[in-house]
């Protein structure tokens, strides 16, 4: 007999994880299924990491309302879940009186939405707020409530908290079919695994349309808007003290300069509509575009500081709003689709919103008396003082073994990652930052691989970058010459 659950969440991105955590405070048997080998490997790993300030869209959009609400929830979330988050504030820089008029419109949006502390600024105030701005700035907008977050750490923490409160997680579970019989959905994975569930939440990001189709619910198409971004070294002079936006155009918030929470600088993203959901490539043309537009905002941005680049895919729907509703065709099937930007910001509010929909549609929600919103904090070597480090090492000598020298990540943190279930190279990278610095794993990859083997009992050949066919090494000396493997 397959396991039977009250609720199945499809997709372990920020949306699915936030929903699962919310549901974990109630007496429900909940499972999250995810096709990748770890959580946050979809859209939620590759984005700008901004907790938006609530001024880009007006109140008529659902995404705008959830953005404001989500933003407010972040302080408490950080208290409970310890992911890197900082309210550094957002500035929007205008370079002409035309652009200034658009800024005024944004300001009105912000006021209407209730964005706390939002203000219009003149030239001097803009440069005071962000001294690295191009001196040609005419004026702009300041949203002090905007911030930055490490997106995958947010998802990891949400999921860890959900699991701690009883939610199950099934990875490498690619949903292939979903059939409803006697009030129970049977959900089958590509590898043949089966589960049953009363409720299904479709939070599959780029693939919400396919999931909806598989279950016989609404038909719609997710359009993909691709965004390329570049990361600069943590010593780059381009590091600003606030997120710097240009004045937005009709279909995009534009390319920005982002001081990430962990001290690197990010520039981008582009916005190109593409057909292929798997096209994660970067191009030279966009490279040039990003840098010239970033330099217009912050002239000291330099290509010389690039450490890596990546591509993210925005799952968008016609109309460009979130689509969060009970299916009209299938019972107890909830669509959480079109979660493009500001999905990260809105995620805690999306979770509440989904819970309310479920409640309205007859799900009985009984609070768990033993629900614990807090997870343990893993001390970070890189954020500790010399005295704290001395103490950490005394308690756990693995804090004395530096593995990733660029980001100062110790063996203790790698082990914590593996024990939390993040054991692919990318999973470890997102959990700890190991291999994320300037040498991009040149020195520490083999050390990490050894620790994974020791902790999990796997062999070097079993280790992947991010699951699937992303093997690192698959041959031992002698294998080719003896022709045992091809």
Partner 1 sequence: MKKIEREVLIIGGGSAGMAAAAEIAEKGHSVVIVERESTMGGILNQCIHNGFGLHRFKEELTGPEYAERYVNIINELPIDQYTGMTVTEIDDQKDFKLVYAFSSHEGMVEFKVKAVVLAMGCRERNRGNIGTPGSRPSGVFTAGLAQRLVNIDGLIPGKKCVIVGSGDIGLIMARRLSWVGADVQAVVEIQPYPAGLTRNIVQCLNDFNIPLHLSHIVSKIYGKDRVEGVDITPLIDGIEAPVQTFHIDCDTLLLSVGLVPDNEVSKKAGVIISNQTSGPAVDGNLMTNVEGIFACGNVLHVHDLVDFVTEESIRCGSYVNSYLEGKTKGSQYSVMAGANVRYITPNKFTSDSDNKFYLRSMIVKNQAELVVSLDGREIIRKKQKHVQPSEMISCEIKADLLKSTGLNEKSRLEIGLKS
Ligand X SMILES: Cc1cc2nc3c(=O)[nH]c(=O)nc-3n(C[C@H](O)[C@H](O)[C@H](O)COP(=O)(O)OP(=O)(O)OC[C@H]3O[C@@H](n4cnc5c(N)ncnc54)[C@H](O)[C@@H]3O)c2cc1C
Q: Which residues bind ligand X (CB under 6 A)?
A: 10-16, 33-36, 41-44, 47-50, 52, 173-175, 203-207, 211, 227, 269, 312-314, 339-345
Q: Which residue is nearest to ligand X (CB)?
A: 343
Q: Is 130 exposed, middle or buried (0-12, 13-18, 19+ CB in 10 A)?
A: buried
Q: Taking CB within 5 to 8 Å according to partner kind, which of partner 1, ligand X, none is near residue 42?
A: ligand X
Which range in 16-24, 155-163, 236-244, 306-314 contacts partner 1 by CB under 8 A? 306-314
Q: In the set 68, 438, 451, 452, which binds partner 1 (CB under 8 A)?
A: 438
Q: Taking CB within 5 to 8 Å according to partner kind, which of partner 1, ligand X, none is near residue 308?
A: partner 1
Residue 57 is among the residues annotated as catalytic for this protein = no
Angle at 79 between CA 75 and CA 82, to 5 degrees: 110
Q: In the set 196, 252, 308, 327, which binds partner 1 (CB under 8 A)?
A: 308
Query: CB of 274 within 8 A of CB of 316?
Result: no
**Cβ at position 309, least distance to ligand X in Å:** 12
Nearer to partner 1, 123 or 277 (CB): 277
Q: In the set 390, 419, 454, 456, which binds partner 1 (CB under 8 A)?
A: 390
Tell me how far apart the alpha carbons of residues 22 and 347 are, in angstroms, rounded to a whole number. Answer: 11
Which range in 23-31, 208-216, 327-335, 475-483 contacts partner 1 by CB under 8 A? 475-483
Q: Taking CB within 5 to 8 Å according to partner kind, which of ligand X, partner 1, none is near residue 310?
A: partner 1
Nearer to ligand X, 35 or 422 (CB): 35
Tell me how far apart the alpha carbons of residues 290 and 106 are, in angstroms, rounded to a whole number. Answer: 23
**Cβ at position 164, least distance to ligand X in Å:** 20
Q: Which element (helix H / strand E) includes 302?
A: none
Q: Taking CB within 5 to 8 Å according to partner kind, which of ligand X, partner 1, none is near residue 202?
A: none
Residue 334 pairs with which residues in a beta bridge?
Answer: 201, 326
Tell me how far apart the alpha carbons of residues 131 and 294 are, in angstroms, rounded to a whole number. Answer: 15
Query: Under the criterion CB under 8 A, does residue 460 sit at the interface with partner 1?
Result: yes
Token representation of residue 75: 């302080």
Q: Taking CB within 5 to 8 Å according to partner kind, which of ligand X, partner 1, none is near residue 43?
A: ligand X
Maximal CA-CA distance, the chain: 73
Nearer to ligand X, 32 or 126 (CB): 32
Q: Which element (helix H / strand E) includes 139?
A: strand 139-143
Name the nearest CA neighbour of 44 among 344, 337, 450, 284: 344
Name the nearest CA neighbour of 198 among 328, 360, 30: 30
Nearer to ligand X, 139 or 188 (CB): 188
Name the nearest CA neighbour of 332 among 140, 197, 221: 197
Q: Is 426 exposed, middle or buried (0-12, 13-18, 19+ CB in 10 A)?
A: buried
CA neighbours closer than 13 Å in the CB half-sphere of residue 33 = 25
Determine how β-strand 272-274 pairs with β-strand 223-232.
antiparallel
Q: In the set 441, 448, 451, 452, which binds partner 1 (CB under 8 A)?
A: 441
Query: Which residues are designated catalytic?
Result: 52
In the complex, which residues of this chain contact partner 1 (CB under 8 A)? 231, 235, 278-284, 287, 303, 306-311, 386-387, 389-390, 393-394, 397-402, 405, 408, 425, 438-443, 445-446, 460, 464-481
């Amino acid at each position: 007999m397959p396991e039977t659950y009250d609720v199945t969440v499809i997709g372990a991105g920020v949306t699915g994880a936030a929903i699962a955590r919310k549901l974990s405070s109630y007496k429900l048997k909940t499972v999250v299924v995810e096709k990748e080998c770890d959580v946050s490997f979809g859209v939620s790993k590759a984005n700008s990491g901004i907790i938006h300030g609530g001024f880009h869209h007006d109140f008529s959009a659902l995404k705008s309302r959830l953005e404001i609400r989500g933003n407010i929830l972040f302080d408490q979330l950080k208290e409970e879940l310890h992911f890197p988050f900082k309210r550094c504030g957002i500035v929007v820089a205008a370079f002409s009186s035309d652009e200034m008029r658009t800024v005024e419109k944004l300001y009105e949006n912000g006021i209407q939405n209730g964005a706390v502390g939002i203000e219009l600024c003149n030239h001097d105030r803009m440069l005071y707020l962000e001294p690295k701005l191009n001196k040609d700035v005419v004026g702009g907008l300041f949203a002090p409530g905007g911030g930055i977050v490490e997106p995958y750490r947010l998802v990891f923490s949400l999921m860890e908290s959900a699991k701690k409160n009883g939610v199950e997680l099934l990875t490498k579970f690619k949903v292939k079919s979903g059939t409803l019989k006697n009030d129970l959905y049977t959900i089958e994975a590509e590898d043949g695994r089966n589960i049953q569930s009363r409720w299904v939440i479709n939070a599959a990001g780029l693939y919400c349309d396919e999931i909806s189709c598989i279950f016989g619910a609404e038909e719609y198409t997710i359009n993909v808007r691709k965004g390329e971004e570049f990361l600069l070294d943590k010593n780059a002079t381009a590091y600003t003290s606030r997120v710097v936006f240009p004045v937005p155009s009709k279909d995009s918030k534009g390319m920005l300069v982002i001081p990430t929470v962990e001290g690197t600088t990010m520039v981008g993203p582009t916005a190109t509509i593409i057909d292929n959901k798997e096209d994660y490539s970067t191009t030279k043309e966009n490279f040039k575009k990003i840098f010239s537009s970033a330099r217009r905002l912050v002239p000291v941005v330099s290509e010389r500081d690039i450490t890596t680049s990546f591509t993210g895919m925005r799952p968008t729907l016609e109309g460009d709003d979130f689509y969060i509703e009970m299916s009209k065709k299938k019972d107890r099937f909830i669509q959480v689709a079109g979660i493009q930007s500001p999905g990260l910001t809105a995620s805690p509010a999306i979770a509440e919103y989904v819970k309310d929909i479920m409640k309205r549609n007859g799900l009985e929600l009984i609070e768990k008396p033993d629900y614990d919103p807090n997870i343990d904090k893993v001390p970070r070597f890189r954020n500790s003082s010399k005295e704290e480090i001395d103490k950490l090492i005394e308690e756990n000598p693995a804090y004395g073994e530096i593995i990733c020298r660029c980001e100062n990540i110790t063996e203790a943190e790698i082990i914590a990652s593996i024990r939390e279930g993040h054991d692919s190279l990318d999973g470890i990278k997102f959990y700890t930052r190991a291999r994320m610095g300037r040498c991009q794993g040149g020195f520490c990859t083999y050390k990490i691989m050894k620790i994974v083997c020791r902790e999990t009992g796997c062999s070097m050949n079993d280790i992947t970058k991010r699951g699937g066919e992303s093997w690192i090494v698959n041959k031992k000396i002698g294998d080719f010459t003896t022709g045992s493997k091809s």
